[in-house]
Amino acid sequence: MEFLQYSFITNALMAGVLTALSAALLGNFMIVARQAVMSDMLAHAAVAGVGLGVFWNINPIAGAFLTSVAATLLLWWLSQKKQAAPEAISVVILNGSLALALLLIHIDSRSGFSLESYLFGSILTITQSELYLFICLNIFIIGLLLFFWKNILTLVFDQDFLHSKNTYKSFFEILLMLLIAAIVGIGLKVIGGLLIGAMLIIPPLIVQSYCSSFKQNVIMSALINILAVLCGIISSFYFDIPASSSIVLTLILLFGLAKIPMIRTQ
Amino acid sequence: MSAIEVKNISYNKHKKTILENINFSLNIGDYVGLIGPNGAGKTTLIKIILGLLPPSKGSIEKATGLTIGYVPQSYTLSPIIPISVREVLKMSGNRNLSEHKTALQQVDLEHSILKQNFHHLSAGQQQRIIIARALCIHPQALIFDEPLSGIDFSTKIKLYDLLATLNQQHQLTILFVSHEVDRIIDKCHHILCLNKTLHQGCHPLDFSQGKITCTSEHQHQEKEANRVLPIHHHH
């Protein structure tokens, strides 16, 4: 357990475990709401925010939150106006954001800023102040999800029914999207914009055939996600490999192991 | 006594008339069928009655304190992630376990089903659970929007019997919405024929076979005469 004496490792473990927990919680709701692609869209919007942060000389993570919230509201508004299917709008925003990020960083090339750590994450370089920010945001995400659990569950499974109870449907729609934007902002540093989707979507799919209730599925996928993050950070320390890559590969391995018996019995 | 009164409801969307001058009332204890082809405006009318959609013209009057249970047409909850029957019932806002059990009893299901994954149940069982969920809010009226497909004939018959029992034993006012006359004709007290406007004075069987095209003049004559059309079985 020698790795525990390093503060960069303990920071990574704390941020990683908390993010794994809230990502698994949110991921379950996202899959049911058919918003699995949305995490990718928001992650790219967040990358544009990083570029904007560099350009305006503000904290890149703050820039990321700003643009992913803006992208969330834009997507919601355009889907309400029924201009195109949400997933098609997502692709437009996704590519536009990435192009904008490239442009902004090119203009500001003198700073020598590298996008890579936000595309692929760098969990081992999380600073003390970032750690505090991530702890607060994760508690905020988990708290809101637990508080509005029943309403968000009804929203994602059965919108019509939520609507018929005269509950504010749009409020919960926007809330869910904002929570996804928040987890994506955290995810940029923890696992990277290109890989955050894995932490959200894969764990619920791994346990899905073995659970019989939503609550069970959430708890099991959270445990799987935490396991993958621990494996990732520890293997990164001992074998000097990128943590993001080993987190995602651990998840993929578990996904394969969980699905093989299911496919064989079909 | 009337539970729900629909008064002169019209609804236009994109300059197209979806509903025109709809008038009827549901009395307490009524079991009324509402039939009409696809695109007749059935779902729009339900949404207006439930207060989800403001009508372009007219008004809905409900008895004070009336709670309406709603069984939506598409309740096919996304099947990828499991959800237990108990969790489905909790969506009603009622978390009381013994009331969940009572609701399951009313739709003729065992308590042991509570812990099972909703997606692993048969279509007929799923539909009963959705009705139980509506019953969990203790409604005096129930609006049942029949799913278009996925339910076999014998399951349908059982369901019609179940709704008739709920209607008789619990004085539950029911508005049964369907795209076809099918078998509801035997169970309902009245049938409303909707296609943009209520076609009164024609027989539901003829209406559903497309034999009747009522004119709006018919409408005005009938308007005063009858709140809903009673069924006369003709041979």
How much is the pLDDT for B212? 56
How much is the pLDDT for A36? 83
Provide the pLDDT confidence category of residue B209 given band limits of 50, 70 and 90.
Answer: low
Instruction: Provide the whole-model pTM.
Output: 0.83
How much is the pLDDT for A110? 62
Name the least confident of A68-72, A97-101, B107-111, B193-197: B193-197
How much is the pLDDT for B219? 44
Provide the pLDDT confidence category of residue A2 given band limits of 50, 70 and 90.
Answer: confident
How much is the pLDDT for B77? 67
Using CA atoms, how far apart are residues A59 and B152, in angstroms rounded to an integer? 60
CB-CB under 8 Å, B74 with A157: no
Residue B59 per-residue DSSP state: E
Using CA atoms, how far apart are residues A208 and A170, in angstroms rounded to an integer? 28
Model confidence pLDDT, tens digit, residues A154-176 = 888 887 778 777 678 889 988 99
Q: Are A236 and A229 contacting, i.e. CB atoms less than 8 angstroms apart?
A: no
Task: Name the fold adopted by A11-258.
Answer: ABC transporter involved in vitamin B12 uptake, BtuC (1.10.3470)
Q: Answer yes or no: is pLDDT of B222 > 50.
A: no
Provide the pLDDT confidence category of residue B10 given band limits of 50, 70 and 90.
Answer: very high
**3-class state of residue A176 by DSSP:** helix
Residue in A166, A208, A213 nearest the CB of B87: A213
Reported ipTM: 0.84
CB-CB under 8 Å, A158 with B80: no
Using CA atoms, how far apart are residues B66 and B25, in angstroms rounded to an integer? 14
Residue in B80, B86, B90 nearest the CB of A208: B80
Helices (H), chain A: 7-32, 38-56, 60-80, 86-107, 116-119, 128-147, 149-157, 159-164, 169-190, 196-207, 214-239, 243-265
How much is the pLDDT for A16? 95
Task: Please tell me the total number of residues recorded for chain A in this structure.
Answer: 266
B62 touches chain A (CB under 8 A): no
CB-CB under 8 Å, B78 with A156: yes
CB-CB under 8 Å, A211 with B133: no
CB-facing half-sphere around the CA of A75: CA atoms within 13 A: 33
- Sketch the domain layout of chain A as residue ranges: 11-258
Tokens encoding B47: 């949404």
A214 touches chain B (CB under 8 A): yes
* Parallel, antiparallel or unpaired: strands B190-195 and B229-230: antiparallel
Helices (H), chain B: 42-50, 85-90, 97-106, 123-135, 153-170, 184-187, 204-208, 216-225
Q: For residues A160 and B18, which has the higher predicted lDDT (pLDDT)? A: B18
pLDDT average, residue stretch B1-30: 89
How much is the pLDDT for B220? 42
CB-CB under 8 Å, B86 with A31: no
pLDDT average, residue stretch A37-57: 88
Q: Answer yes or no: is pLDDT of A69 > 60.
A: yes
Tokens encoding A26: 């949110």
